Amino acid sequence: MKPGIHPEYRPVVFRDRSADEAFLTRSTVSTDRTIEWADGNTYPLVEVDISSASHPFYTGKQRILDSAGRVEKFRARYAKKK
């Protein structure tokens, strides 16, 4: 690798907002937020909406948020005019 042209590769904590899970990994992502981890060190924090802790493919659970509202909107939009 050429020196000086690549972003810093460092430990970063990713926190899933919906599952309230966090994991420490390495990344080049930049952020201004930090968090104190269980080992006592402070790491940059990136909050994500979906991770393997909350995604239905990995959890086997499917959440239905507002299906009735969406179905009614669909029916109202594409209903035949009488």
Q: How far apart are CA 16 and CA 69, in angstroms?
A: 26
Q: What is the pLDDT of residue 79?
A: 80
Q: How far apart are CA 63 and CA 8, in angstroms?
A: 37
Q: What is the pLDDT of residue 2?
A: 83
* pLDDT, tens digit only, all 82 positions of the chain: 788 898 889 999 999 888 888 999 999 999 999 999 999 999 999 998 877 777 666 566 766 555 567 777 788 888 876 5
Q: What is the pLDDT of residue 68?
A: 62
Q: What is the pLDDT of residue 12?
A: 96
Alpha-carbon torsion 74, 75, 79, 82, what sign?
A: negative
Q: How far apart are CA 2 and CA 53, in angstroms?
A: 36
**pTM, rounded to two decimals:** 0.64
